[in-house]
Amino acid sequence: MTYMAIPNIGNYTIALATAVESLGIKAWASTATTPEALKLGISAAPESVCLPMKAHLGHFIEADRAGVEYAFMVNSVGTCRLRYYRHMIGRILKDMGLKIKIFGLGFDGFKPPIVRYFDPGPLTFLKPIFHTALKIKVIDELEVAAWRTRPVELTQGDTTRVMNRLLVELSESGTMASTRAIRKKAARCFDEIPIDRDKQPLRVGLVGEISFLRDKCLNKNIEYILGSQGIELRNFFLLGEELNNISRIVLLNQNRRKYLSRIADRYLQCTVGGHALDSVAHSIRCADEGYDGMVHLCPSGCMPEVSVRPILKRVSKDKNIPILEMSYDEHTCGVGIATRLEAFADVLRERRKKQVNK
């Protein structure tokens, strides 16, 4: 069996693994960067690059050690350094004397090179693609349900347990029929978690660099920490939504960037790369929608997110919404991160109390 290593984008890796099967090969992946991979990546990468790149690199080195021959890397069309990372990672791996071959997603003529290389038949190709789309949709739903349930659950850990269980089933599901069954079961399972119906959880938006929004290892399980503090989250990276945007651009010529830059107009007129414009626009939107606060995840060395930091400070002041800046680096211990998040939750609770008393 041929294996291909795919980058970790949190739980969506499960769906991507199905997509890889469309090429007639198997995926080699995990839903979060393992600490071992991170260690390998940090030692192999140049010191000043951002942590997501190190995580990707480490993942591929780990894959090569496991005997995986191929790897796949997203090259973003944004202006962030990520678009060069495929070449950079390819070279670093080559310098290290590793054999793993890296594909990008670019088009070359009609077919992307990756499709041409493996050359699957048209029929075997289509079905897994539809299956992937379905899985992405299910994972989107799971994520949203988890954010809603976690802060109000009566027994701490219920949501995470249900979520993990469903994800395991989803990763094992090989047919569209079983994925549909999981989708139905998911709705029922989340409904059955005993919750405190009178509780009004604080609402917090999560914005920032996408690998950090999604990868539990990199962000030190921020969704779990905030959720168990009684905070309802909204994580502004849902792969389903992102793909919808792409199809909207292709089919209807509706660019979401235009929409976002209209919201952020007073603060930022152009995209600075990555998801930085999204961070600003979503913060403004959340402030208008009455969210209690925002958390901005920013790996140190991430060019776009570092650029919008001062802008977010201004937004915070103008719109009177607390924005917590989280700067991540190669921490191995989550204590400092938990301290900041707990204190932030305390601040939000006090604000809420004050608003109610007014």
Partner 1 sequence: MNEACYLGIDVGSISTNCVIIALDGEVLFEIYRRGEGSPISSVQQCLALLSEQMPERLSIKGVCTTGSGRILAGAVVGADVIKNEISAHARAALHLYPDARTIFEIGGQDSKVTILRDGAVVDFAMNLVCAAGTGSFLDSQARRMNITIEDLSSRAMLSKNPTNIAGRCTVFAESDMIHKQQVGHEQKDIMMGLCNALVRNYLSNVCNGKEIKPPVVFQGGVSANRGICRAFREALQCDIIIPPYNMVMGAYGAALIAAQSSIEETKFRGIEVAARSIATRGFECGDCPNCCEIIEVIDDDEVIGRTGGRCGKWEGKTGPREALRGNGPAGAVSAASADCETCGQVDHVPDLIQMGVHKK
List binders of partner 1 among 270-309 (CB under 8 A): 300
Rule CB under 8 A: is residue 329 a binding residue for partner 1?
yes
Q: By CB under 8 A, is residue 192 in contact with partner 1?
A: yes
Q: Which two tokens stand for residue 351?
A: 């604000």
What's the CA gap between 185 and 170, in Å, rounded? 11
Tell me: does residue 32 bind partner 1 (CB under 8 A): yes
Pick the binder of partner 1 from 137, 220, 234, 275 (CB under 8 A).
Answer: 220
Under the binding rule (CB under 8 A), the answer on residue 318 touching partner 1 is no
**Shortest Å distance, C-beta 55 to partner 1:** 13
Verify binding: residue 197, partner 1, rule CB under 8 A. Answer: no
Q: Which amino acid is at 311?
A: I
**How many other CB atoms sit within 10 Å of the CB of residue 127?**
14
Q: What distance in Å separates the CA atoms of residue 268 and residue 349, rounded to the nearest whole number?
A: 30
- Return the half-sphere exposure (C-beta side, CA atoms, 13 A cut-off) of residue 328: 31
Binding mask 145-184 for partner 1 (x = CB under 8 A): ---------xxxxx-xxx-xxxxxx-x-------------
Q: Which residue has the tokens 């693609």?
A: 129
CB of 105 to partner 1, least distance (A): 20
Asked if 216 touches partner 1 (CB under 8 A), the answer is: yes
Residue 38 contacts partner 1 per CB under 8 A: no
State which residue, 86 or 220, has the beta carbon closest to partner 1: 220
Query: Is residue 325 within a helix (H) or strand (E), and if so which, with residue range?
Result: strand 323-328
Number of residues in contact with partner 1, rule: CB under 8 A?
71
Q: Is 310 in the site for partner 1 (CB under 8 A)?
A: yes
Three-class DSSP category at 159: helix
Identify which range of 134-142, 246-254, 271-279, 326-334 contacts partner 1 by CB under 8 A.
326-334
First vs last C-alpha separation in the chain: 66
- The Cα–Cα gap between 5 and 27 comes to 6
What is the spatial distance between Cα 354 and Cα 290, in angstroms, rounded to a whole number? 15
22 within 8 A of 299, measured Cβ to Cβ: no
Assess 26 for contact with partner 1 (CB under 8 A).
yes
- Determine which residue in the list 241, 288, 318, 346 makes contact with partner 1, applying CB under 8 A: 346
Site membership for partner 1, residue 199 (CB under 8 A): no
